Chains A and B, each alone.
Chain A
Amino acid sequence: MKFGIVTFPGSNCDYDAYHAVTDILGEQAVYLWHKDHDLQNVDVVVLPGGFSYGDYLRAGAIARFSPIMQEVAAHARAGGPVLGVCNGFQILCEAHLLPGALMRNATLQFVSAPVRIRVENADTLFTNLYRQGELLKLPIAHGDGRYFADGAVLDALEAEGRVIFRYADAGGNISADANPNGSVRNIAGIISEQGNVLGMMPHPERACSPLLGSVDGVRLLESILSRVAA
C-alpha cells in the first residue's frame, strides 16, 4: 500500500509519518509537496503535524488553499482514506472535510506530553484493531488543540459514532482533569460522515516504537491496512 505524506511549509512531523509507514509498517510512502497537483496514485493521504504557514491567521487556515488540497479533497470525497494529525486535523477542519474547529488551548499553554485516549468506536477504518474502550498512550504537542463545535454538530457526531477518541484518565474515565486542552466533551479525534477521514490531535506516528515510550499508534496504521487491503 502506498501512503502520501503532504509537506507544507512548516510541516514538522512529515518525517515521523514517513518513518512509521516505511520502517515500522513496511509499506511504501512518498512525500507530496503542497504545491503539487498530483497525488501520485497513493492509497492513503497523511496530513502531518507542524505549523503550516506559521499558523498565520489561524492554524490550518492558509494551508487549506494549497494546490494539493484540491486533490486531497477529491480523494476524500471518493472515499479514499485521509489521516490528519495535529496540524493535519486543524487543516481538515478549515477545509470543511471535518466539522468544527481547533481553538487555543484553554490553559493558553503549549502542551507537549503523553496523554491517554479512549477508543470510543472500534469499528472504523482507523480503529478496527483496537478494542472498544481500550486506553491508548499517545503524545500530544500543540497550542491550538481545543476542539469545538456547536451542540447540534456534537450530538450528530456522537449519534453517528464519529467521535472515535476521547481524552481519558488512567482509569479510563472521561474527566476534566484528563482533558489537556479543554476540548468540548473531551474529544480527541473524529471521523467524517463516510468514515474515511480522521482528524486527531494526538500523534499515533510518534508512538510506534518501544524506544519512544509507546507502540499504541501502530495499530491505527495497521487498521487502515487491514480494511483497505481486504
Chain B
Amino acid sequence: MSRFRLAVRIVPRKGLLDPQGKAVSDALHTLGFDGVESVHVGRYIIIETAAPDALAAGESAKDMCRKLLANPVTEDFEVESAVQA
C-alpha cells in the first residue's frame, strides 16, 4: 500500500439553476470583467488515502463521490488526479 493524494472536483450539474454562480458572475461584471459569460461554483476536495496503486485510489475516490461527496441529483464530479503522496 502506498499513500495517494486525490483531488476531486464537484460542480453543479450542467443546465441547473446555479444562483451562486450567477451572483458571482454579476459581481464580476460589476468589477468590469465584461467578458465573463458564466460562472459556476463548486467544491474542491483533497483526500489523502492509502491504496495499492493510483488506479485503485482513483476508483475509490469515485466510489466516495457516489456515496457521499457528490449528490448525483444536482452535482457532477470528476476525480482530477491521484498522485503518490
Contact = CB atoms under 8 A, between A and B. Distances in A.
B23 interface: yes
Contact of B20 (A93, A99, A108, A148): A108
B85 interface: no
Closest 9 CB pairs of A and B: A101-B73, A101-B74, A108-B19, A106-B19, A101-B71, A103-B74, A108-B23, A58-B71, A100-B73
B71 A94 contact: yes
**Interface residue SS majority, chain B:** mixed
Interface in B53-69: 68-69
A149 B74 CA distance: 8
A100 B16 CA distance: 13
Nearest to A108: B19
Interface in A74-119: 93-94, 99-101, 103-108
A146 B73 CA distance: 13
B47 interface: no
A103 B69 CA distance: 15
A105 B19 contact: yes
A160 B74 CA distance: 23
A101 B12 CA distance: 12
Given A57-B68, A61-B68, A106 B17 contact: yes
A57 B70 CA distance: 9
24 contacts: A57-B43, A57-B68, A57-B69, A61-B71, A62-B68, A65-B68, A94-B71, A99-B73, A101-B71, A101-B73, A101-B74, A103-B74, A104-B20, A106-B19, A107-B19, A108-B19, A108-B20, A148-B16, A148-B73, A148-B74, A149-B73, A150-B73, A182-B17, A182-B19
- Interface size range of chain B in the complex: 10 to 19
A131 B10 CA distance: 43
Nearest to A105: B19
A149 B72 CA distance: 11
Contacts of B23: 108
Contacts of B19: 104-108, 182
Contacts of A182: 17, 19
A103 B16 CA distance: 10
Contacts of B68: 57, 61-62, 65
Contacts of A61: 68, 71
A150 B15 CA distance: 12
Contacts of B17: 103, 106, 146, 182
Contacts of A148: 16, 73-74
Given A104-B20, A108-B19, 20 more contacts: A57-B43, A57-B69, A58-B71, A61-B68, A61-B71, A62-B68, A99-B73, A100-B73, A103-B74, A104-B19, A105-B19, A106-B17, A106-B19, A107-B19, A146-B17, A148-B74, A149-B73, A150-B73, A182-B17, A182-B19
